[in-house]
Each structure stands twice: as structure tokens, then as C-alpha cells.
Structure 1
């Protein structure tokens, strides 16, 4: 059984908060590639930023997601990812217009159930690593709600509830290991 679970969806929808809760409960978690890349690029005066060179940013996110997936395979139990390879490939496809997703079919799979956080304007905030607007976040969410099913994943939309209840909801939809 594949024990790598993606939590994706709308920026500002509570993915990082949910991963913090899962980590607090003892589960392995992987921070979003995009946030790590932005921090690295800003610290080093880099240009692979989504607002400077979105294609370079997406390519770095693909490479990082592949490495994250590889490292997580040795973890016991579930490993939860804040976004994954499909997110990065979808972003590159949207940026370049080149079909990227189909090249990934059946390669580097995650658990067949993917959890998506819906748009949640009440929790959306800008920060130094998230400079895009809510409308752009919703457009990305719309791409992902299409991309994941097209890649053969079952999508579960996470309810807009407090983080502990959200974690309980997610965990109740996964089999015991």
C-alpha cells in the first residue's frame, strides 16, 4: 500500500495548519515545496519565484516533490504532503501550455485518495511567500480539482471545520496501517 498522502487544494485553505496538527499527532509530514523554494530563492537573490519566473519555479517544485516522495518511502506509517508532484506539474502545464501531467501517469504515485482544501476566503492571507491574490488561488484550485481525477486519484474535499475535527475527518477516510 502506498502510504504517501497528498493534501492539496486552494492556497490559504488550511493545508499547512492541518499538517501541523497531523505532525503534532505523530505523523510524518512534508512541507509544501513552493514555500521552501520561495524562502531559498529570497535568501539567495534567486529568480525561480512564482512572480518572477513561474516556469523555473514549477520545475524546481517538480524536482523537490520527486525527492520528497523518494525520501518519504522509508517512513513507517502515513506521510502527509502539503502539495505534491501533480500540483507542480499542473502549475508548469498552466504556465507553459505543454502537456506535463500525462507524462507522470502511474509514475511516482501517491495514495489513491487525495484531500483538497476548498477556497476559504476567511482564512486566506498574504505573506512574504504567498503574494498571489485569492482569485489566482481559486483558479489554481479549479485546475487541481480537474487534474487529480484525470490522473486517477479519488478526491475528497475537506470540510471547513476546526483543525482537530478536520484531521479526524481525514484520518477516518484512510485505512489502518
Structure 2
């Protein structure tokens, strides 16, 4: 699992892991935003954050089920606990079903968290958050994951290739 705030290099790391032959599950949020923008939908974080969270939950549950049905490890670009962190960040209550999902849909205990990194942070049509919000998101995830029993390992601010090596080395050492 890779978590953290927006624009911290999570997706680049996931893409590099996929490029080196590892199974991955992409971040739900960006795809949902693209889909909702294409159809004029309301499931956007700046329009209806609760609907956006439900759409992310649906995607993350599907990814978790597919990973369990497959063989080998899968690297996730965010996961179910991120939804609880997102709702907390928005000042919204965490519904019981989201709480249950975060407790029941378990991932490997070690979760990598990408710290805010101003040098690589950018905004675009899908990422409207500013750097201050990226920092708040990081803090929300750093508080949320341990609440569900995960151990966070902060990713270093190094090249994507070095991050891939860092992640794989830590996972091999844990096995």
C-alpha cells in the first residue's frame, strides 16, 4: 500500500512498480474525477465529497477482492483507510459501513506513506488541491492508518527508481 497526500509521487511509484512486473491497483480518485467530469456527474470532491467517497470505496473494495482472488502481491495506490482519512479531512463523519470496510478489508501491515514534496507537487484538472491541502491530507493519512493497525514507513524524497528499491527492500526484509 502506498498512501500520502496528492502530488507526492505515489502514482509515479506505482507506475514504476507496474513497469517492473509487479501487480498494481491504481488510485480510484483520479479515474472517478475523470469519469464524473466526462458525464457532468456530481461525484467530485469539490461538488459532493460523500458521493466521491462512496465511489472510491466501491472501487477500492473491487480492487481488494481482485487482489485476494489473484496470486502474489499487489501494490495499491491508496486503499480503504484513505477514505476514512479523506472524510475526516473534509470534517465529515465516517459512516459505519466505511469504518467496517477499513477494519475488515486488510492489507499488508506495512504501509508506505509519501510525504509532501513541494519540488514535485503540481496541480491539474483532476488535482485542484494546493500544497497546503496536500500537507493536511498527508497528516490525515498519517493519523488514520495507525488507527487501523498499520505501520507506516515514510518514503524518502528520492528518484522514482530509488523509491522502488526502497519499497522492495523493505518488503523483502519484512518477509
TM over 0.5: yes
The 8 Å contact of residues 119 and 138 in structure 1, kept in 2 or not, is answered as yes
Normalization by structure 1: what TM-score? 0.91
1:115 maps to 112
Unmatched segments (≥5 aa) in structure 2: none
* Structure 1 segments (4+ residues) deviating >2 Å: 92-97, 99-106
The 8 Å contact of residues 55 and 96 in structure 1, kept in 2 or not, is answered as no
| Counterpart pick for 2:147 among 138, 147, 150 | 150
What is the deviation of 1:126?
A: 0.6
Q: Distance in 1 between matches of 2:121 and 2:148?
A: 27
Unmatched segments (≥5 aa) in structure 1: 1-5
Matched, 1:139 2:150: no
What is the deviation of 1:75?
A: 2.6
Normalization by structure 2: what TM-score? 0.92
Q: Distance in 2 between matches of 1:143 and 1:154?
A: 15
Q: Distance in 1 between matches of 2:90 and 2:167?
A: 31
Q: Distance in 2 between matches of 1:45 and 1:123?
A: 30
Q: Distance in 2 between matches of 1:166 and 1:62?
A: 27
Q: How does 1:159-170 map to 2 (within 5 A)?
A: 159-170=156-167
The count of corresponding residues between Structure 1 and Structure 2 is 172
Supply the RMSD in Å over aligned alpha carbons.
Answer: 1.6
Give 1 or 2: higher helix fraction. Answer: 2
